[in-house]
Structure formats: structure tokens, C-alpha cells
A and B are shown apart, each in its own frame.
Chain A
Amino acid sequence: MKRFLFAGVCLLISLTGCSFHKAAEDKAEIVVWHWMSDRQSAFQELAKKYEAETGIRVRFEVFPHGVYSQKINAAAAAKDLPELFGILGDKKLFSSFIKAGLVDDLTFYMNENNHRWKNSFIDISLAFNTFDKGNSYGVPPGIYAVPIDTMGIQFLYNKSLLAKIGVSPDSPPSNWEDFIKDAKLAVDKLGVSGFVCGWGENWLIYCLATDYAFNIMGQDKFFATLRGEVPYTDHDWIKVFSLFEEMRDSGILAPGIITMNNKEAEQIFASGRSLFSFNGSWGVNTYKQMNPSLRYSVMPPPQAGRDYPVKIWAGAGSSFVVSRLSSRHYEAIRFLKWLTEKDQQVFLVEKTRNLPSVKGCDSKVSVSMKQFLKNSKYFTHPNLWPLNEDSRVVEAINIGIEKIIIGEKTPQETAVDVDKVKQLRMERK
């Protein structure tokens, strides 16, 4: 019996020993979970600097992009979140974390010292993480996350290729007809693709489709569709879907675009095998690494409709939230304040070539990166919309557009399919 007791005590010590050890370790450090593997080394360097300055250890833990959301969801369910973490998903998911009481409201800290911290951010990046009064998510108004960089998704064009087809590199196409014409010329004259994009990552299809939905039907009608007041079979939506059919029929799409991931698309554009691309500011890093001599520029998506402006997805690239469950959230907030100071932001810009989230770093931002923040009055993003489309409808739009591209469905048929899904979701609600 004594032996059993001894074995039991040993087992107990070994099990609890782990948690004692963890608690002792936790006291001295802030843990940050994220998915940005390309920025891990820069984060680690900053962590070392912070430890040297304050004595507080910061441990950045990176997880693969594909499993990050599951990791965070599981940790949230188990109430085992680190002090700081990023939320990879739409605003609905973000709001569910807030409503579950897992995320700290940072408004008070933002407004301290006459709004000093709040005023340091580029407006669009902070708007991303702000819930206004009466928001459709049912979240109390406030600022719930701290942006660490900014992004914009626009059209890019290869200046050298554009010159070769006889178009001035300083005046890229501003309307849809010219865009198709120039892209076609590139295919016919130069034997390169007219347009490339990582449409294997479906969200880029939705991004482009919504840019043009704003352009063709205007903001009010677009949001009315999301509310279920305008059907997807409306002629304006068919016009949006028809743009993809036109791209297919004109033969400008890069071969294999439909299963291409964004990195592959970036490589094709960087190697000068496509005249146009639709990509985010994060691509600058790939272009620089792959082909430092690539001459390219950024332009807003060419206008397809005449009555409304084309919108551009932009906003906070990545943000960190502070766990309300952590006993060290004040330390975590202090670290975030430090991370978003100009020196650290400049360091991140130089190391990762992402746009900063705070003002005053312009001198360190390259010309090509700055261009992504042009046309800021047309910036938009699902996180800034008053409501978001149901994810099943978004999926139906993406799959429908893919079907148009592979020639399986017409824009009209896709519109009917999407509308059926929308009706079903409305009934369920």
C-alpha cells in the first residue's frame, strides 16, 4: 500500500509540477500568439530589445496560417489564451471573442493623455478595430485591437511591359475597356499573361467582386443586397459576374489562375510574366526578393461602372488583442504601446516591408509601398461595413465565379445559384 501511496504522490507531483513550472515561467513573460511566420524573426528581435529595456520577457509563438484559427478557437473555448493574440477572421468572429468576454476594451488606454496613443495611428488602421455605437454585431462601442501594420489591395502593373505594348507607364488604364484592351495586347504581342491573381485563395475573388459591386451598383444597393432587400439576380450583380466572364473570354487570365495561390501569383508577376496583377501591399516583399529590378506601379481597379467609384479593400493588416483572462494585461498593453511607437514601427517597416500602422514613418516607406495607400477616400473593407454577408453566400459567390471562369456556368446562372443560397440563409435567420 505504501508503494502505491508513494507512486500516487510522485504522479501528483509530476502533474502539478508542470503547472507550477508554467506559473513561475509565466510571471516573467508576456506570450504572443500569431500566424505571421515571415515576421517572426523581426518580432523576436523586438522582444529582445524590449526585455533589455524593461526586464519583461516577451515570447512570440508562431503557428501555421492554416491551423491558427482552430488553435485560437480551441484555446478560447478552454479559456487558455495568451496575453496577446491575433484574430484571423472576419469582424463577426472578432465580435464573438469580445462578446465572450475574452478581449480587453482598449478605448481607455487609447484616450489617455489627450488621445495620444489613438492619435498616433493612421485612421483607416484603427477604424478596423473599432466598434461604433449601435453596430450590427451587438458589441459595446470601443477599440478592441491594436493594428501593427496597414495593408491595401489594388491593381499592379508592370511598367516595362506596358511600355512595350505602346502605352505610357505613367498613364495605366483607368477604365475596364482599356484594361481588357491592354491586357489582350500583352497576351497577343508579348506572349505574357494579361492578368494574374491568387484566386486559388477564394477570398481574393470576393475582394475583387465587391470592389466592382460598389462600382457598378453603389454602396447603398450593395448593402441592401447584404440585408436581403436586393436579390443577387439583379442586373447589376449580373454585370459584376459578367466582368469575370469577359476576362475569361478575352484570354487575359494567367493559365491555372483558378487554383493558383497568392504566392505563385506574386512569383508570376515578379518574373515579368503578367502585365497586371491584383494583390495586396504585402506582395512588395516578394517582388523585392524575387526581382529587385522589377519596374511596377500601383493603380486603382479600372472603373467598370460610370456612376459610382470603385472601392478598394484596405485597413489594418494584422492586429493584436489583449486577453481579458490574463492577469498581466496591463503589462501586455504597455508592450503594445511600445510596439506601436515610431522606432519599432520603422524597424518593422525596414525588416518586413509592410506598411506601418502609425503616422510619421513616411520617410522609411518605399515609393512602391506608399502607392498602396493612394486613393484613401475609396478605401473600404468588410470589417468597416455595417454588416457582412453570410459566409455560405460568400462561398457561393466565389464558387460561382470560378464556375464562370471554367466555363461551366453563365453569369445569369451563377446569380441564380447565389441567390438560392442567400434565400436559404435568410430563411434560416
Chain B
Amino acid sequence: MNYPSGREQFKSFSFVLPAFAIFAFFYIMPFFYTFWLALHRGSEISSLGFVGLSNFRDILFHDKEWWASVGRSFYISFWALTFQNFLAFILALAVDKAVRTGKIYRVVFFLLPVLSEIIIGLLVRNLLVPYPGVFNHFLHQIGLSSLAHDWLNNPDFALRTLAFTHCWRGFGWGFIILLAGLQTIPQELYEASRVDGANAFQRFTKITVPLLMPVIFLVIILTILGTVQVIGLPMALTRGGPAGKTTVSVLKILNDLNNSHAGYASAEGLVLGFILICVSFSLLKISKKFKP
């Protein structure tokens, strides 16, 4: 076997170097800096004090608020995984069949994810605030007064409102990815199954779902990663209130950063990252079992 000469190796590495330098500067260094910061107490100016792993100990064993915020993030993820993705899947199936109007729907459904979280949050907030109470007024008008609530300030509804708004805003992502997946399934398979006498349900369960499984898992992973990291929406909608009922994990990290607890916030960020990595790898492992 002929190994490349030193000069050629240098040449090859020189092509990779700019990309590696950018990657190291923007990804590797911040990661190690975050870890270093997580071992300290205070903010990053002059009051940093080395505390070892005590931030991690506090987060893992003492900080109920942190775990409550993680719980809220996963609560929203649950709704996103079920309601949001179910809606995205149904719409993708429908649009896949609509040959002539498909493009219009693609644009319409993808419009919401393109808009910023803050804009959606402010829009929904303006509809739901008790005064002038546009949405509740609408409910009264159509005879559904019993459904009118203080959607943002009532602790029983605030998190649900946030979850629903997030699903409403986010279903377009899942829709586009699932639609792309559906369109990669060869039509010949459906035609052959029709010849063999398979009905629509059988075609769906035996062809569509199995062949779409890798895409479905991709959507699930992206949904979890995207939802757990949501921050703009709760900031615009409720600012984490009432009484912290919509303070999701990333918002808690931001609050700690703003309160000069950069070390603690870094540790929280690393713990959250670790949770997300575990969830993603578990899902990837499960997805391998479903490979067609």
C-alpha cells in the first residue's frame, strides 16, 4: 500500500484546516468553556469561585425548580410528539394526494414555523390577554362561554396554552419532512399492492408506515430537541409566569444567567444537553429495530 508523502498529507490537512478551525472555535472551545464555567460559582467577570462539581450535585439532588422546569419542557414535548406530529402526519398524507393544490398547502403550513417564536407569542398573547379578551369574546359570541378562561394567568391553563401554541406553530416542520418522506416512497409499490388486492388500510400499514419509519423517528428526535429548547415563545407569551408555571428549562437557564449565576446556568445547560443526548441515542437505537 502506498502511503501519501508528508507533503501530500500536509496538503490534504490544509484543506480541512479552515473548517476544523471554525468548528474548534465555535463548538469545541465553547463546550469546554461551558464545562469550566460549570465548575464555578458566580458570574464570569471577577466573582468566579471554584466549587468543583457542587453545581451538578445541587442540580441533580436539590433543585426541585430545575426538575420542574425540565418536566414542563417534556410536558410540551409530549403534546408536540402526539398532537403536533399526528396533525403533521395527517396533513402530509392529505397533501401528498393533492397533486394540484399541494404546493399552496406546503406554503401555507410552512408559514408558521418560518415566523419567529416571539412574533407568534406576541400575536397569541394579544388574542388571549383578559383585556380586551378577543378570543374569550369570540367564545361568548358562538355560545361557548363555559370555555372562556384566563388562558395565560390561570395556573391550570397557562402551560397547556403554551403547549398548544407551540404545537400550532411547529406542526409545519413535521409536515414538510413527512411530506418529503412520503414522496420518496416508490409509486410502483402501491400499484403492485393494488394488483395484489390490498385495500387502502393495508397499503398504509404495510407500505407507507414501514417505509416512512426512519423519517418518523427523525421527526420525533427533531421535535424533542426543538421543543425542549423552546424559549422565545414562553418569554413572549407569559414570561415564565404565573408563579413560574411556564418556566421551561431553557428559560430557567436564562434566568440564572441574568441573575449572575453563569456557573450554575452552565451546569444546567450541560445537564439538559446530556438528557437530550441520552433521549436522542435511545430513539436512534429503537429506530434501528424498526428499519424496513
Contact = CB atoms under 8 A, between A and B. Distances in A.
Pairing of A with B: yes
Interface of A: 4, 66, 69-70, 73, 76-77, 89-90, 92-93, 96-97, 99-100, 102, 200-201, 254-261, 264, 268, 273, 391-392, 395, 399, 402-403, 405-406, 408, 424
Interface in B102-159: 129-131, 150, 152-155, 158
A256 B45 contact: no
A97 B153 contact: no
A200 B129 CA distance: 13
A257 B239 CA distance: 12
Given A395-B259, A402-B243, A408-B243, A255 B43 contact: no
Contacts of A89: 260
Main secondary structure of the interface of A (DSSP, over half): helix
Contact of B260 (A77, A260, A391): A391
Contact of A408 (B155, B239, B260): B155
Interface in B210-265: 235, 238-239, 241-244, 255, 257-262
Contact of B257 (A70, A90, A268, A273): A70
A406 B153 contact: yes
B150 A102 contact: no
A403 B243 contact: yes
Contact of A96 (B47, B154, B242, B255): B47
Given A100-B46, A256-B129, A392 B242 contact: no
Interface string B161-189: 00000000000000000000000000000
Interface residues of B, number: 32
B259 A259 contact: no
A255 B153 contact: yes
B12 interface: no
Q: Which 5 A-B pairs have the closest CB atoms?
A: A255-B130, A100-B46, A402-B243, A391-B259, A99-B46
Q: Which of B11, B130, B131, B243 has the most CB of A within 10 A?
A: B243
23 contacts: A66-B235, A69-B257, A69-B258, A89-B260, A93-B43, A96-B42, A96-B45, A96-B46, A97-B46, A100-B45, A255-B130, A256-B130, A258-B241, A258-B242, A259-B152, A260-B129, A261-B239, A391-B260, A391-B261, A403-B243, A405-B242, A406-B153, A408-B243
Given A395-B259, A408-B155, 4 more contacts: A73-B45, A200-B238, A256-B150, A258-B242
Nearest to B33: A77
B150 A200 contact: no
B44 interface: yes
A406 B130 CA distance: 15
Contacts of A97: 45-46
Contacts of A408: 155, 243
B14 interface: yes
Nearest to B154: A406
Main secondary structure of the interface of B (DSSP, over half): loop
Contacts of A264: 129
B282 to A, nearest CB: 33
B18 to A, nearest CB: 8
A97 B46 CA distance: 7
Q: Which of A70, A97, A200, A261 has the most CB of B within 10 A?
A: A200
Nearest to B247: A399
A403 to B, nearest CB: 5
Contacts of A99: 45-47
B155 A93 contact: no
Contacts of B259: 391-392, 395
A81 B152 CA distance: 40
B58 to A, nearest CB: 9
A256 B255 contact: no
Contact of A256 (B14, B43, B152, B258): B152
Contacts of B152: 256, 259
Contact of A255 (B131, B244, B261, B262): B131
Contacts of A405: 242-243
B131 A268 contact: yes
Contacts of B44: 73, 76-77
B241 A259 contact: yes
A395 B243 CA distance: 10
Contact of B255 (A77, A201, A395): A395
Contacts of B131: 254-256, 268, 273
A408 B244 CA distance: 12
